[in-house]
Amino acid sequence: MESAPTSTPSTDRPLRGPVLTLLSGSSIALALSYLAQPLLTRLYTPEAFGVLDAFVALASLLFVLGTLRYEDALLLPHDEAEARGLLRLSVYILLGLSLLSLVLSLPGRLLLARAGEVALADWLPWLGPALLLMGGGRLAELWLMRREAFRTLSAGTALRAATTTTLRLAAGLPPLQAGAAGLIGGFLGGHLSALLLYGWRLRRTPSEASAPPPSLTALARRYRRFPLFTLPAALLNALSMRLPFLLLLAFFDARVLGFFGRAFMVLSVPLGLVGGATGQVFFVRAAEARHGDGLAALTLRVYRRLLQVGLYPVLLLMLLGPDLFAFVFGQPWHTAGRYAVWIAPWLLLAALASPLSRLFDVLERQRADFATSVLLFLLQTGALVVGGLQGRPEMALLLLGLAGVLGRLVQLGVLLHLAGVSLRDALAPVLRYALVSLPLLGLLHLSASHLSPPLHLGLALLSVPLYLGLGVWLDRRIA
| Whether 368 contacts 418, CB under 8 Å | yes
Task: Please tell me the pTM assigned to this model.
Answer: 0.77
Question: Contact at 8 Å (CB) between 36 and 244?
Answer: no
Please choose, from the candidates 461, 463, 472, the residue with its C-alpha nearest in 3D space to the C-alpha of residue 433: 472
Q: What was the pLDDT predicted at 5? A: 45
Chain centroid to CA 272: how far? 4
Axis crossing angle, helix 295-329 with helix 453-478, rounded to the nearest 10: 170
Inter-axis angle of helices 254-289 and 16-43, nearest 10: 170
pLDDT score of 243: 86
Report which residue type is found at 397: L
pLDDT, one tens digit for every residue, the chain (479 residues) = 454 444 444 444 555 556 666 656 667 777 777 788 899 999 999 999 999 999 999 999 999 999 999 998 998 888 888 999 999 999 999 999 999 999 999 899 888 888 777 788 999 999 999 999 999 999 999 999 888 888 888 889 889 989 999 999 999 998 888 899 999 999 999 999 999 999 999 988 766 656 777 899 999 999 998 999 889 888 887 887 888 898 998 899 889 999 999 999 888 877 877 777 677 678 778 877 776 678 888 999 899 999 999 999 999 999 988 888 988 888 889 999 999 999 999 999 999 998 898 888 888 788 898 899 889 889 999 999 999 999 899 999 999 999 999 999 999 999 999 999 999 999 999 999 999 999 999 999 998 888 888 898 889 989 999 998 988 888 888 76
pLDDT at 269: 77
- Residue pair 324/461 in contact by the 8 Å Cβ criterion: no
Residue 278 identity (one-letter amino acid): T
Q: What is the pLDDT of residues 127-144, one digit of tens each?
A: 999 999 999 999 999 999
Confidence at residue 293, expressed as pLDDT on a 0 to 100 scale: 72
d(CA 339, CA 398): 8
Distance (Å) of CA 12 to CA 77, 151, 284, 298: 21, 21, 13, 10
Segment (H or E) for 103: helix 80-114
Q: Which residues contact 305 (CB under 8 A, 6 or more apart)?
A: 278
Task: Give CA–CA dist 194/128, Å, rounded.
Answer: 18
266 by Cβ neighbours in 10 Å (0-12 / 13-18 / 19+) ranks as buried
| Per-residue pLDDT, 101 | 95
